[in-house]
């Protein structure tokens, strides 16, 4: 193909085909596997040292909660507590000394990890399950169900979780333990999960793949379970991760007030409350359980922030 020089006879220059390798520019590597949202999130999280630090801390916390007997030979309650050892300093096998009741402080902190993590996990799972189901149904089907769930959620939002749990735990006829406390916290914590799930479902159900499923004749229940809920879980998982730390704090607060776990069950909040009476003689008795509580809660809160940033494309673009 001939080409004219610009400015001569009003023609224009046309580059030869061999000088424009459009095939190489537009080529697409079809051998690469398509990356999912969770795959992108994992790639973003694994590059952050803070994620690995939080993951390591949480792994240690979980191991201690499951197997506290691996780290101490002493028991936190019962015959292991001797009043003659009250406020004794650290010694061999008892690195943190003894509390006012003569119980090994190190043992109580380790076994208190089990209580706090158990309540946090159970409350988070129950709240996520209840709120997730209710929010998904309300957002997908709408109508009267959506209005009912919204008004019911507003009622629970008006009641602070700690205040509601205090009232229920004081009047409840059954024993106080990790399961009953988790149920009470979940009853007052499900509305926030329901609201997040409802909003995510409202966004997902208007997507093109949902419209295509409707055109293919899939039932509404199959569309909800197979397409809408899996694509609406990301924000719920973020809130659930953050809520886990919040529920651990709630358990410690209730135990500190004496209406959470009973004294027979080791708890960081209960140990902090007990240590108040000897703060002048042994201030470290408050420091040890408070530090364990702070580290645990901080690890879960930071992990929640990292997961949120990883699942948010705008946050990833800013980094």
Look at residues 217, 266, 238, 315 and name the one whose alpha carbon lies nearest to residue 111.
Answer: 266
pTM of the model: 0.79
The CA distance from 205 to 212, in Å, is 11
* pLDDT of res. 128: 92
Distant-in-sequence, close-in-space partners of 99: CB < 8 Å, separation ≥ 6: 86, 87, 105, 108, 271, 274, 275, 278, 282, 285
* pLDDT of res. 36: 63
* pLDDT of res. 203: 85
Q: Is residue 89 part of a domain?
A: no
Instruction: Tell me the average confidence (pLDDT) per consecutive run of 10 residues in the chain, 319 residues long.
Output: 50 59 51 62 80 90 90 77 74 78 84 89 92 88 86 85 86 82 90 89 80 76 79 85 88 87 85 82 85 90 84 57
Residue in this structure with the two tokens 């008795």, named with its chain if needed: 285
φ, ψ at 94 (rounded to 5°): -135, 75
3-state secondary structure of 91: strand
pLDDT (tens digit per residue) in 122-159: 999 999 999 999 988 888 888 888 888 888 888 888 88
Which domain range does residue 54 map to? 38-73+95-318
CATH number reported for the structural domain that contains residue 274 in this entry: 1.10.3720.10
Cβ(244)–Cβ(297) under 8 Å?
no
Q: Is residue 29 part of a domain?
A: no
Residue 121 CB burial class (10 angstroms; 0-12, 13-18, ≥19): middle
Q: Is residue 80 part of a domain?
A: no
Cβ(250)–Cβ(127) under 8 Å?
no
Q: Is residue 286 part of a domain?
A: yes
Q: Is residue 157 part of a domain?
A: yes
Q: Is residue 26 part of a domain?
A: no
* pLDDT of res. 121: 92
* pLDDT of res. 59: 92
pLDDT (tens digit per residue) in 180-232: 899 999 998 888 999 898 888 888 877 777 778 777 777 777 777 877 888 78
* pLDDT of res. 17: 56
The CA distance from 29 to 27, in Å, is 7
* pLDDT of res. 38: 66
Instruction: Give me the number of domains the chain comprises.
Output: 1
Q: Is residue 100 part of a domain?
A: yes
């Amino acid at each position: 193909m001939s080409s004219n020089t610009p400015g001569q006879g009003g023609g224009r220059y046309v580059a030869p085909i061999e000088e424009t390798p459009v095939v190489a520019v537009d080529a697409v590597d079809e051998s690469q596997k398509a990356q999912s949202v969770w795959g992108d999130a994992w790639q973003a999280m694994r590059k952050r040292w803070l994620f690995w630090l939080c993951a390591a801390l949480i792994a240690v916390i979980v191991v201690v909660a499951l197997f506290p007997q691996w780290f101490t030979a002493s028991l936190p309650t019962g015959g292991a507590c001797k009043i003659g050892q009250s406020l004794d300093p650290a010694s061999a096998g008892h690195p943190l000394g003894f509390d006012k009741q003569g119980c090994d402080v190190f043992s109580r902190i380790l076994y208190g990890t089990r209580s706090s993590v158990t309540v946090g996990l159970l409350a988070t799972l129950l709240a996520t399950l209840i709120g997730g189901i209710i929010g998904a149904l309300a957002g997908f089907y709408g109508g009267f169900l959506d209005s009912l769930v919204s008004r019911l959620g507003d009622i629970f939002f008006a009641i602070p979780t700690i205040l509601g749990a205090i009232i229920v735990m004081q009047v409840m006829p059954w024993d106080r333990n990790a399961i009953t406390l988790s149920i009470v916290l979940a009853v007052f914590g499900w509305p926030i999960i329901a609201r997040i799930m409802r909003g995510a479902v409202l966004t997902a159900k208007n997507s093109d793949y949902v419209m295509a499923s409707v055109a293919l004749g899939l039932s509404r229940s199959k569309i909800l379970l197979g397409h809408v809920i899996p694509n609406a879980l990301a924000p719920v998982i973020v809130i659930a991760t953050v809520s886990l730390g919040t529920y651990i704090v709630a358990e410690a607060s209730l135990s500190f007030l004496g209406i959470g776990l009973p004294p027979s069950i080791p708890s960081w909040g209960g140990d902090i409350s007990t240590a108040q009476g000897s703060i002048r003689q042994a201030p470290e008795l408050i420091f040890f359980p408070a530090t364990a509580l702070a580290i645990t809660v901080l690890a879960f809160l930071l992990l929640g922030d990292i997961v949120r940033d990883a699942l948010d494309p705008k946050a990833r673009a800013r980094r």
